[in-house]
């Protein structure tokens, strides 16, 4: 398989420094060797340019919408690179950076395929809007914007309007939804597989149910967006928005393997690893192990 590694050193979406160091830090730890050892023709596309915005300008476009212009610019560029990768029959792996980049990566996939869905593996919903967000951090709005909710500039990233039908979105591992997000889930009937459900029914039940829905809805292409905080903090402490009672590494791998086995996954994000918050590279090694595992199963 041809794989394009795309680094996105973005921290504006979470408004916390450190996460932008992840792409280069993972390279130093041996990221490319972990992928190439499985026989993939792997290209390191390098890091996207992220404009330098002083903190004093972060609310330039509105009190509850931090760093909007820079985030839209980065996501437009990312969408184009992802689109070009897919047109060239490559599998793009996007290394963040924060989860605001999911807006660009999924937009590039949406331009490539009409019949696509999104699996969003995350402790959070990321479906807030400027009206519902308690922080103004755009990493918590990215998935909502992909479904057409929220600020018009975010919604219109790369192409006008929503990129994905809400019924084709699958939220997995969630355990921290804001009140506005809960209302959005109910209104749009989004498939949410919370940690409470996973504990009750098991991760295999979740995987099987999603696969069933993919078939029923004739979804033939998947963008798989993985947030490190989906894992329990005891496994992956190096992230900025830790939430207790997350996935074990075994649960995580079982789910990922099940999704990859569908052969529908065409692109993947891995986001929110913050080396500055890590403990003796524990999370860095877990992230490398995950990418090793993914590369083996592709």
Question: Which residue numbers are catalytic?
Answer: 99, 122, 124, 126, 139, 227, 229, 272
CB neighbours of 41 closer than 8 A, spacing ≥ 6?
A: 1, 2, 3
Residue with tokens 């660009």: 104
Question: CA 72, CA 8: separation in Å to the nearest integer?
Answer: 13
Written as six digits, the tokens of 3 are 């794989």
Question: CA 13, CA 171: separation in Å to the nearest integer?
Answer: 19
Sheet of 169-174, strands arranged across: 41-47, 2-8, 91-96, 265-271, 221-227, 116-121, 169-174, 191-194
Residue with tokens 């993947």: 268
Dihedral angle sign, alpha carbons of residues 5, 8, 256, 108: negative
- Omega into 127 within 30° of 0, i.e. cis? no
Question: CA 27, CA 7: separation in Å to the nearest integer?
Answer: 10
Residue in 104, 163, 170 with CA at minimum distance from that of residue 138: 104
Residue with tokens 């560029």: 77
Listed in sequence order, the DSSP H helices in the chain are 22-29, 31-36, 68-87, 102-112, 142-146, 152-155, 179-188, 195-201, 203-216, 249-260, 282-297
Instruction: Assess contact for 78 and 92: CB atoms under 8 A.
Output: no
Written as six digits, the tokens of 26 are 């993972």
């Amino acid at each position: 398989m041809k794989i394009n590694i795309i680094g996105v050193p973005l921290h504006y979406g979470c408004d916390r420094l450190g996460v932008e160091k992840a792409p280069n830090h993972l390279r130093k730890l041996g990221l490319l060797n972990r992928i190439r050892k499985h026989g993939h023709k792997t290209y390191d596309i390098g890091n996207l340019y992220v404009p330098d915005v002083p903190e004093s300008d972060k609310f330039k476009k509105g009190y509850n919408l931090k760093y909007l212009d820079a985030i839209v610019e980065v996501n437009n560029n990312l969408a184009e690179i992802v689109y070009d990768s897919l047109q060239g029959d490559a599998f793009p792996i996007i290394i963040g950076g924060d989860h605001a980049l999911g807006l660009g990566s999924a937009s590039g996939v949406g331009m490539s395929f009409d019949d696509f869905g999104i699996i969003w593996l995350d402790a959070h919903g990321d479906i807030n809007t400027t009206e519902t967000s308690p922080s103004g951090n755009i990493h918590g709005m990215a998935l909502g914007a992909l479904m057409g909710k929220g600020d018009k500039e975010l919604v219109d990233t790369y192409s006008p309007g929503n990129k994905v039908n809400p019924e084709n979105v699958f939220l997995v591992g969630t355990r921290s939804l804001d009140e506005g997000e809960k209302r959005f889930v109910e209104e749009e009937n989004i498939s949410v597989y919370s940690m409470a459900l996973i504990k009750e029914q098991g991760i295999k039940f979740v995987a099987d149910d999603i696969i069933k829905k993919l078939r029923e809805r004739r979804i033939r292409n998947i963008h798989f967006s993985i947030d490190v905080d989906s894992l329990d903090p005891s496994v992956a402490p190096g992230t900025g928005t830790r939430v207790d009672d997350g996935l074990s590494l075994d649960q995580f791998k079982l789910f990922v393997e099940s999704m990859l086995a569908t052969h529908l996954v065409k692109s993947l994000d891995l986001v929110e690893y913050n080396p500055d918050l890590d403990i003796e590279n524990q999370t860095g090694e877990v992230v490398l192990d995950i990418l090793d595992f993914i590369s083996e199963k592709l």
